[in-house]
Chains A and B, each alone.
With several copies, the nearest count.
Chain A
């Protein structure tokens, strides 16, 4: 297997895929949004329970590949407890990371750095960012459904 593929499917990714964290509905959520990737049909829902400006709880559920599931799972771990502003900042950093534009911030991404392998596979950028788009939509009360295609620049197609 190529080194790039090994980097894409690091064991931390495969672990999150097998046993995703916070993979559950959230009956007392204060916000939620769906993410849909129209080209492959993957979809997931992200729930948030906000406590003022901070994310008290976050969970997700849905259909997706290992990359999208692992990315969502890791996302729930790092976003929980963060402020709205910090979550937005993380969105930007992850987006930069998976599109290969990560700079110094990468140092602060911790476990999320496992997603860096995605940048070598333009078609998978959408997978890695699907949950993040949904999270941001929920965070800003957009709700409804976001598709990765509408998110512009990161599309390889």
Chain B
């Protein structure tokens, strides 16, 4: 079956055979245990290498304690491990001012933090908030809700037909009344890599806050957040080989210092009076309560692992697999690949197959061990503009190789034939 399909693609078997994975599959316990699994849903969450699981276990077996508040050595060791993880992750992300990296549960919480704490204090009635049509709900709904709460205007920058942002149109939307420009680094639904510098420029011209959703940026691109020039950058550790519950927000120190805190409780206070409370310094001001220490420790191990793979190799690897998948899928009758050309995207391939519903398609693929996502990808506003109800999405990461592309194409073709009746 696979032979039959592949013979119709433009990518030769030889070329495909040449694409080995960037990371050894054996480093990933789940993938090693399920050799026939083609895990193509890394944009949703990634599998974890053994080193990450070991780092978490080792933390609990050797230094677990509540950090910051204990004078005893175990607590000091936990504090140190937590701090050291922050230093390593900041370095990985290219953030020089370590304490401006705030740990959160992930991208969603980071963006809510900005929209709530900064937004409520700075966005007023009559102001404007600009987002793009590509946004994940996490970078759309909090801004929509903020706008409606304070009486600001909520405006959506539209796309070109190929799924890239219409920058000219967007520039016209970013008026002097604009207080926030919120945009994704890389689209999770189409894979589009957005031109951060241009968009930051628009925001800077009018003094608006440039907020970048880096959920699909940090895991894949060799970035330095400091050089991106954004005011706020949100990311999720679980999408970059780290544990669930890890992630963060990088934000300019001056903004973090001026804005009110987000959550309140232990660790984030300086003095709690009966009437009035003052806040602790960064990063503590934004990390209320007992921190999830294992999360950054696991994530730091993931960062080290990615660094060892060669940061610059990740995007190239994914892009090559995505390009091969696009070519293979395009050969299958009825398949439409959505979004920009391979050189303007990350390792995400979203497509439709005639009138086969993505839910059915992904169910068929699953029977062949091919794990893809079917649905609106938390991007309903984008689905409306594309005039599709849902898509099927394959996303590649460091552990994928040519066999995954091959299995995907073969399985889609088999489903096509089945549904054609």
Contact = CB atoms under 8 A, between A and B. Distances in A.
Given A1-B364, A5-B364, A11-B421, A123 B390 contact: no
B359 interface: yes
Nearest to A127: B359
A81 interface: no
A120 B322 CA distance: 33
B131 to A, nearest CB: 20
A156 B68 contact: no
A39 B68 contact: yes
A5 B82 CA distance: 25
A39 B67 CA distance: 11
A150 to B, nearest CB: 6
B359 A1 contact: no
A149 interface: yes
A156 B360 contact: no
Chain B: interface size category: 20 to 34
B363 A40 contact: no
Contacts of B359: 40, 42, 65, 67, 127
Given A1-B367, A65-B359, A121-B363, A40 B390 contact: yes
A38 B358 CA distance: 15
Interface residues of A, number: 33
A157 B367 contact: no
A14 interface: yes
B116 interface: no
Contact of A149 (B71, B281, B356, B376): B281
A9 B389 contact: no
A149 B421 contact: no
A38 B270 contact: yes
Nearest to A122: B76
B254 to A, nearest CB: 15
Contacts of B360: 9, 65-67
Interface string A1-16: 1100100110100110
Interface in B233-252: none
Nearest to B67: A157
B348 to A, nearest CB: 19
A150 B270 CA distance: 12
A156 B67 CA distance: 11
Interface centre among B356, B374, B389 (most CB of A within 10 A): B389
Interface string A47-88: 000000000000000011111010000000000000000000
Contacts of B82: 157
Contact of A41 (B76, B83, B364, B390): B390
A40 B75 CA distance: 14
A41 B389 CA distance: 8
B80 A156 contact: yes
B269 interface: yes
B363 A124 contact: yes
A36 interface: yes
A35 B60 CA distance: 35
B421 A14 contact: yes
A157 B80 contact: yes
Contacts of A1: 364, 367, 414, 418
B376 A2 contact: no
A39 B69 contact: yes
A9 B360 CA distance: 9
Contacts of A36: 270-271
Contacts of B68: 39, 157
Contacts of B357: 64-66, 69
Interface string B382-421: 0100000110000000000000000000000010001101
Contact of A63 (B356, B389, B419): B389
B354 to A, nearest CB: 11
A39 B267 CA distance: 7
Given A40-B374, A41-B390, A64-B357, 19 more contacts: A1-B414, A5-B364, A5-B367, A9-B418, A14-B421, A38-B280, A40-B71, A40-B359, A41-B376, A41-B389, A65-B359, A66-B356, A67-B359, A122-B80, A123-B71, A149-B284, A150-B281, A156-B76, A157-B67
Interface of B: 67-69, 71, 76, 79-80, 82-83, 269-271, 280-281, 284, 356-360, 363-364, 367, 374-376, 380, 383, 389-390, 414, 418-419, 421
24 contacts: A14-B421, A36-B270, A38-B270, A38-B271, A38-B284, A40-B374, A40-B375, A41-B383, A63-B389, A65-B359, A65-B360, A66-B356, A66-B357, A66-B360, A69-B357, A121-B363, A122-B80, A123-B76, A147-B270, A149-B280, A149-B284, A156-B83, A157-B80, A157-B82
